[in-house]
Amino acid sequence: VKHLLSIADLDRGQIIDLLDMADHMAEVGRRPVPKVPALRGKTVVNLFFEDSTRTRLSFDAAAKRLSADVMTFSASSSSVNKGESLRDTVETLTAMGADIFVVRHRSSGVPRRITEWTSASVVNAGDGWHQHPTQALLDCFTLREALCSSDLSGVRIAIVGDVRHSRVARSDVLAFTRLGASVVLVAPSTLLPPDIASWEVDVVHELDAVVADVDVIVLLRMQRERMDQALVPSLVEYTGRFGLTPERARRLRHGAFVMHPGPMNRGIEITVDPSSLPGSLVTRQVTNGVAVRTAVLYALLEGASSEVVR
């Protein structure tokens, strides 16, 4: 494949191949010198029109592990502020030799549109409410690692919170179910997407209904910047029904895992310190993000020759 725009474009076998490649990249990352020459001479452009900490920096680290050159564009300090269009920006960076664009944008569909304006590969690093495929891959990778299993068959996963505004939830649901997991969404109806009937998931409206039964809980951030109307009566009430509180953490199954893509709103969707939970995978998610993004850059730029990196 040339681009990674949505988990919907990947079948189970392609997801497993990327995760297996990420296992190999994680091994590279543990070496004293965590670097291979695989993408020497290639240029990775980080094109971020929306704020990001871990996604941007982990793509940056991933490109460097592969010895690629990295150019980082941030909208806030660019000629976009002088009115330059997205298309002109992409054409300018293509003319500078970009081989791959890593794109984050607040509007859904922007990464796909960019593929029409450049010969370079495009990775979607989060577009609006739509997709964030590398987050879903790193979540799958982290669960495979935690469960010591090659896929997620038979695993019951709850995704809790602001599903409506969440590209992470849209991506996770597709990836988790393709790997054999079953998913239950836990949210008030105002925070569910309008097309929920077509999703392959169960839905409940209280975290207490499933907290003691699931193998994995994925907490989502309350996306206050995407809410143009009050969709929850109050944040205190939200925490009361959907937050991972100390009482609910005590009711988790023995061996259950807790995940959060970050950034966390402490005190809202989570009121326990995740580092105090034995099953917390939050920091593993961040560490694994680099290995997974390394695998994605490698697969898109060198995939055809697909020889394993040494």
Q: Is 13 helix (H, G, I), strand (E, B) or coil?
A: helix
Q: Which CB, 38 or 110, lies closer to ligand NCD?
A: 110
Q: Which CB, 168 or 179, lies closer to ligand NCD?
A: 168
Beta pairing class for 43-48 and 69-74: parallel
Q: Which CB, 94 or 286, lies closer to ligand NCD?
A: 286
Distance between CA atoms of residues 136 and 141, nearest Å: 8
Q: How far is the CB of 14 from ligand NCD (least distance, A)?
A: 21
Task: Tell me which of 221, 238, 274, 299 binds ligand NCD, using CB under 6 A.
Answer: 221
**Using rule CB under 6 A, residue 126 touches ligand NCD:** yes
The DSSP secondary structure of 207-257, one letter per residue, reads GGGTTTT-SEEEE----GGG-SS--SS-HHHHHHHHSB-HHHHHHSPTT-E
**Using rule CB under 6 A, residue 167 touches ligand NCD:** yes
CB 158 within 8 A of CB 216: yes
**Using rule CB under 6 A, residue 132 touches ligand NCD:** yes
Q: How far is the CB of 213 from ligand NCD (least distance, A)?
A: 25
Q: Which CB, 43 or 166, lies closer to ligand NCD?
A: 166
CB 219 within 8 A of CB 269: yes
Letters for 251-270 (x = contact with ligand NCD by CB under 6 A, - = none) are ----------xx--------
Residues with Cβ within 8 Å of 197's Cβ and at least 6 positions away in sequence, in order, are none
Distance between CA atoms of residues 237 and 252, nearest Å: 21
Residues with Cβ within 8 Å of 143's Cβ and at least 6 positions away in sequence, in order, are 152, 155, 216, 257, 259, 281
**Using rule CB under 6 A, residue 168 touches ligand NCD:** yes
CB 285 within 8 A of CB 259: yes
**Restricting to residues 50-89, which ones interact with ligand NCD according to CB under 6 A?**
54-55
Q: How far is the CB of 167 from ligand NCD (least distance, A)?
A: 5
Q: Is 269 helix (H, G, I), strand (E, B) or coil?
A: coil
Q: Which CB, 38 or 47, lies closer to ligand NCD?
A: 47
CB 184 within 8 A of CB 211: no
Q: How far is the CB of 125 from ligand NCD (least distance, A)?
A: 8
Q: How far is the CB of 263 from ligand NCD (least distance, A)?
A: 6
Q: Which CB, 43 or 124, lies closer to ligand NCD?
A: 124
Note the residues at the interface with ligand NCD (CB under 6 A): 54-55, 126, 132, 135, 167-168, 221, 223, 261-262
